[in-house]
Amino acid sequence: MDRRTAGEAQILPRKQFRTRTVVQVAIALVAVLLATVPASAASAAASVQSAQQQLAQAQRELAQINDQVERAQADLDQANRRLLEDVALRADLDKRVADYARWEYQQPALPLRLISAGSMSGALNELRQENIVSGRLQTLLQKQKEVRARDQAAHDRVAADLKAVQGSQAQAQQIVAHAQAILAGAKQEQLRAQAAQIAAQAKAVATSTGGGNHFAYGYCTWYVASRRYIPWFGNAIQWWPNARAFGYGEGQVPKVGAVMVTRESGWGHVALVESVNGDGSWTVSEMNFVAWNVVDRRTIFPGQVPVVGFIY
């Protein structure tokens, strides 16, 4: 073998070595890339799943918070109505106490009345009348004391209920912020839609007030109150006793325009009767049965759902 041939023989293995090295590096890079892509995809999927779980938990918390708000508002309404009733009662008691006091002031002193009675029976009548008036006055004064104590308890209850409403609505505001943070970082459209819905739902709970339709937007109570006037407060199951307190009729027969109250959740459910059908069924429209802020209709047969009754 000459030198040229020997040199070529040495160069060839080096070229082959370089080629093999390049191929091996390329294979390694591809392997790294293939390993990285699934890991990245898995990480993204886990992140989306975690966010969805957080939003689902937030939705469950919102249902509880809205229940707390509606219960506190119902208690607040009841306490305020009791205070208004007691204003009239106190005015009547004050007037009657003043009348008895004026009558006693205008009467002669008891010894003089006994002397002027002229007889034992007359004196006894004077004493009996004095005791009756005194007893009635003491009863009225005791009633005044009880009403004042009840009013103080009602005032304390109003303060506690207001604090409970504000605390629950502050919790809802925190959920708004959390959902908006998820929304800001979410790239998946479905996750963005879910986060936006939770944010809107939490905002509705956080801003529900006592004026007009005082129920949180998107819930069954809000929907029914948007269709007919509802002066009372409370969650769905509380509508049954609360409506009665406002003088609304109730019964077990569905009628068009009536509010159906059921035990279809831990907080109850309300819907509006749209029609009564010839086969004994009735059709209702409702919200938050299929999903929050979604209106649907369904036809119900007797015994199909746990109906509490109908508010007329």
Instruction: Name the residue with higher pLDDT: 167 or 43.
Output: 167
End-to-end CA distance of the chain: 114
The answer to which of 26-35, 89-98, 283-292 has the lowest mean pLDDT is 26-35
Q: Which amino acid is at 282?
A: W
Nearest of 253, 251, 221 to residue 239 by alpha carbon:
221
Query: What's the pLDDT score for residue 119?
Result: 57
Local confidence band at 200 (pLDDT 50, 70, 90 cut-offs): confident
Mean pLDDT of the chain: 75
The predicted model gives 281-285 an average pLDDT of 98
Report whether pLDDT(287) > 60: yes
Average pLDDT of the residues in 90-107: 70
**233 or 25: whose pLDDT is higher?**
233
Residue located via tokens 């009345």: 113
Is the pLDDT score of 2 beyond 80?
no
pTM: 0.57
pLDDT of residue 101: 67
Residue-level pLDDT at 68: 79
Express each pLDDT in 101-112 by its tens digit: 676 666 655 555
- What mean pLDDT is predicted for residues 293-300? 95
Fold classification of 217-312 (topology level): endopeptidase fold (from Nostoc punctiforme) (3.90.1720)
Q: What is the pLDDT of residue 184?
A: 74
Q: Which has more pLDDT, 190 or 126? A: 190
pLDDT at 309: 97
Interval 295-311 mean pLDDT: 97
Task: For strands 307-311 and 269-276, give the pairing.
Answer: unpaired
pLDDT exceeds cutoff 70 at 130: no
Classify each residue of 166-177 as buried b or exposed e, where b means 16 or more C-beta atoms within 10 Å of its C-beta.
eebbebbeebbe
8-state DSSP, 216: P
Q: Which residue has the higher pLDDT, 187 or 225?
A: 225
Cβ atoms of residues 157 and 75 within 8 Å: yes
* pLDDT (tens digit per residue) in 52-89: 788 778 777 877 877 877 888 888 788 777 777 777 77
Share of the chain above pLDDT 70, in %: 70
Confidence grade of residue 128 (pLDDT, cut at 50, 70, 90): low
Q: What is the mean pLDDT of residues 138-166?
A: 75
Is residue 283 very low, low, confident or very high in pLDDT (cuts 50, 70, 90)?
very high
Structure-token match 């943070």, residue found: 181
244-271 pLDDT, tens digit each: 989 999 999 999 999 999 999 989 999 9
Output the pLDDT for position 114. 52
Whole-number pLDDT of residue 44: 60
How far is residue 224 from each of residues 15, 72, 148, 261, 272, measured CA to CA in Å? 83, 20, 37, 11, 6
* pLDDT confidence bin for 124, thresholds 50/70/90: low
Contact 236, 267 (CB under 8 A): yes
